[in-house]
Amino acid sequence: MNLIIFGPPGAGKGTQSNNIINNFDLKQISTGDLLRNEIKIQTELGKKIESIINSGELVSDDVVNILVRKIFLDTKNFNRLIFDGYPRTISQVYSLENLLKEFNQKISIVFNLYVDKDIVSKRVNGRVICTKCFTIFNVYFEVPNSKNHKCEKKYLEKRVDDSSKTILNRYETYVIKTKPILDYYNKKGLLIEIDGNQKIDEIYDKIKGILENIRD
Ligand code: AP5
Ligand code: MG
């Protein structure tokens, strides 16, 4: 099965995707991670998109669609993808539909993690990520310690686009450009609303219960 995890910045898309891949044979595709990797390894594309990401705007649909097409071309990914942060515009929705048709697949579920704006800000401000094991922590809500994290502290980093200023623009961009596409998936009967204001484990229990009942 293929899934989409949808929600504003800091909704918990990455956190819940990690939980899912620990229990199901699925692969997480975060377009944000793919784009940040281009910046990290200093590709031509990375140099072009760095300022866009740091301002909280969306990278162009063409760039994102090319990255996603590469994922479909890898046969190991057949029918086992979790799309985290993609699609984000109606043009990306149509591009994904075309790719699904071309590669003979479908989306089984779209989880929408809805979260209040003030909670999102605090979560994003407190986020730290381990650059070695890629686990996502939070200095307020999911504090890294010797029990939940085995790597050295020096690997814990904040994301450059997690500044208070950028987060406001990321949230506005989400509301204006991305949230409206929920309607498309709602009309297709694929949308499942999840209260993302709850605790990480409570949210995951709901997601897990739903996924265990899907057979495709
Ligand atoms: P992207 O990386 O996708 O960022 P985002 O959508 O803003 O979402 P985040 O990664 O910030 O949040 P998340 O929902 O994954 O939350 P997380 O689990 O980390 O995109 C970044 C940028 O790339 C975009 O702004 C854009 O420029 C570009 N881009 C990406 N995709 C694109 C596309 N398709 N088209 C065009 N441009 C694109 O959790 C957040 C924090 O909260 C963590 O610290 C976590 O520990 C904590 N937390 C999580 N859940 C809970 C909970 N339930 N309770 C308490 N704390 C929690
Ligand atoms: Mg994320």
Q: Which pLDDT belongs to residue 164?
A: 85
Nearest ligand to the C-alpha atom of residue 35: 1
Query: Nearest 5°: phi and psi at 5?
Result: -110, 120
The ligand that comes nearest to the alpha carbon of residue 7 is 1
Query: Any residues with CB less than 8 A from the CB of 162 and at least 6 apart, and which?
Result: 124, 125, 127
Residue type, 131: T
Protein residues within 5 Å, CB atom, of ion ligand 2: 14
Q: What is the per-residue pLDDT across 33-47, written as a single tens digit (0 to 9) for each?
A: 999 999 999 999 999
Does 129 contact ligand 1 (Cβ within 6 A)? no
Q: Cβ distance 84 to 8 under 8 Å?
A: no
* Cα–ligand 2 centroid distance for 167 (angstroms): 13
What is the structure's pLDDT at 71?
A: 98
- Nearest residue (by CA) to ligand 1, atom 6, is 9
Output the CA 11–ligand 1 centroid distance in Å: 7
The pLDDT of residue 214: 85
Residue 56's CB is within 10 A of a number of other CB atoms, namely 19
Q: Give the Cα separation of 195 and 137 in Å (integer).
A: 20
Any ligand 1 atom below 6 A from CB of 194: no
Nearest to 192, CA basis, from 110, 115, 88, 116:
110
CA 113 remoteness from chain centre: 11
Q: Which of 31, 92, 163 to mutate to test the pocket of ligand 1 (most atoms within 8 A of CB)?
A: 31
Residue 10 Cβ inside 6 Å of ligand 1? The answer reads yes
pLDDT at 215: 64
How many A from CA of 124 to the centre of ligand 2? 10
- Residues of 174-206 as b/e, b for ≥16 C-beta within 10 angstroms? beeebbebbebbeeeebbeebebeeebeebbee
Residues of the chain with pLDDT under 50: none
Hey, which residues are catalytic here? 13, 88, 127, 159, 170
